A and B are shown apart, each in its own frame.
Chain A
Amino acid sequence: ELKVEQNPLFLSMQEGKNYTIYCNYSTTSDRLYWYRQDPGKSLESLFVLLSNGAVKQEGRLMASLDTKARLSTLHITAAVHDLSATYFCAVEIIKAAGNKLTFGGGTRVLVKP
């Protein structure tokens, strides 16, 4: 059974500093996603990573994927208050029967001035 683990569970950040969220998964997957969720809201897709060595960047966020280590990281550069949210990674396995996402437990990020 596929297991997805994120750490840390909670991250208190200072504005202007850099931080990394880690996502480990237990079996080979087809795609890895990073989502952002604000309190009481739905999931906002940040990145989709398809292959080993994939790196994607958007603003202060950069995601990378190492399929051999079954590890993805979400790096936050020079944190700002607007990045306060919960971040989820999710692993997708595509089968003939369909595709489903298995989520990590989330990392709650709080950026303090």
Chain B
Amino acid sequence: DAGVTQSPTHLIKTRGQQVTLRCSPKSGHDTVSWYQQALGQGPQFIFQYYEEEERQRGNFPDRFSGHQFPNYSSELNVNALLLGDSALYLCASSLIWDPLRETQYFGPGTRLLVL
């Protein structure tokens, strides 16, 4: 049973560029959440997708956008990259209709460095 997978594992970009990160949820899960973890800090919630729609959003600017595909996989897009966007980006998957029994499972993360 495949867990949550993310690609790429590492990425280096320059300021002003755009980046796309990808996530495939754990088998059987239908909800994907994205978190940003800056160095030395706890993860911060970016947004959550279910049924191909953004359901909740954290305090992140519109430069951060996402998408969920019919197979439940998801993309996180960040436009006009800033140095401060350098972080570990974590994807978590869960099952929306049984929230009291399922935990959120985290993927290995994508480490983004903006120069």
B96 touches A101 (CB 8 A): no
Q: Which residues on the B side are within 8 Å of A41 (C-beta)?
A: 108-109
Could you say which of B13-21, B50-58, B68-76 contacts chain A? B50-58
- A42 with B90: in contact, given A94-B99, A100-B33 (CB under 8 Å)? yes
- A33 with B103: in contact, given A98-B31, A100-B33, A101-B43 (CB under 8 Å)? yes
A-B contact count (CB 8 A): 66
- A98 with B48: in contact, given A42-B108, A103-B42 (CB under 8 Å)? yes
B94 touches A99 (CB 8 A): yes
Interface residues on A, range: 20 to 34
In the assembled complex, the Cα of A48 lies from the Cα of B101 at a distance in Å of 10
- Return the contact of B100 from the options A43, A50, A100, A103 (Cβ within 8 A): A50
A 21-47 binary contact with B (CB < 8 Å = 1; else 0): 000000000110101000011110100
Known: A92-B104, A99-B104. 5 other contacts (CB 8 A): A48-B103, A50-B100, A88-B42, A103-B42, A103-B43
